[in-house]
Amino acid sequence: MSEHATTQLRPALFLDRDGVLNEDEGYVYRWEDFRWIPGAREVVAAFNRAGWIVVVVTNQSGIGRGYYTEADMHTLHARMTKELAQAGAHIDAFYYAPQHPEAPVEAYRHPNPPDRKPNPGMLLKAMAEWPIDRERSILVGDKGSDMEAAQRAGVRGLLFRDGDLKAFLAEQGLLP
């Protein structure tokens, strides 16, 4: 019997990063440029307490474009993780897509990267690696490409424009 066969499926909260968890200033990779979206840390903590799996799915074409490195991104994610822990919250997994069709860095050039949203690759990987209940899961994103990835992965998508993430999810009746 596989590990997943004995593990109860749980809903996942998939979160885009830039524009949902932090202000999207364009290619954010340095902590000094990082600013949390109001309510973001509280949302992660609330979903953690409710037993949801919380997953970040983020296009990171800045890596493929040569603006910053994977190590830079991992350093930023480690700092986010530290601050979330101080708020009693955690991200279960970070998935990222550094590929881009026009990436000058050849290792990251791909004509249609399967993980880059609007493709659903990051969500599908997470669902293969975690005991995720697809039907009860949601993705919160700030772009049409996020909504398309959610739809293609069979997950409900919620388009977050700006403001307070906690208030937004409360308005949707989704804050646990």
Q: Which residues are catalytic?
A: 16, 18
Is 136 marked within a binding site? no
Is 69 marked within a binding site? no
Is 16 marked within a binding site? yes
Helix spans in 35-173 (H): 40-49, 61-64, 70-86, 121-129, 144-153, 165-171
Residues in contact with 113: Cβ distance below 8 Å, sequence separation at least 6, in sequence order = 97, 99, 100, 101, 119, 121
Is 25 marked within a binding site? yes
Residue 6 and residue 49: Cα distance in Å, rounded? 22
- For tokens 């659903």, what's the residue? 120
Which residues is 140 bridged to in the sheet? 15, 158
Rounded alpha-carbon distances, angstroms, from residue 119 to 39, 55, 96, 125, 134: 28, 16, 12, 12, 16
Is 125 marked within a binding site? no
Is 99 marked within a binding site? no
- For tokens 């970040």, what's the residue? 56
Is 24 marked within a binding site? yes
Residue type for position 133: D
Is 8 marked within a binding site? no
Is 61 marked within a binding site? yes
- Which DSSP symbol is given to 37? P
Residues within the annotated binding site for substrate? 16-18, 24-27, 58-61, 116-117, 143
Residues within the annotated binding site for Mg(2+)? 16, 18, 142-143
Residues within the annotated binding site? 16-18, 24-27, 58-61, 116-117, 142-143
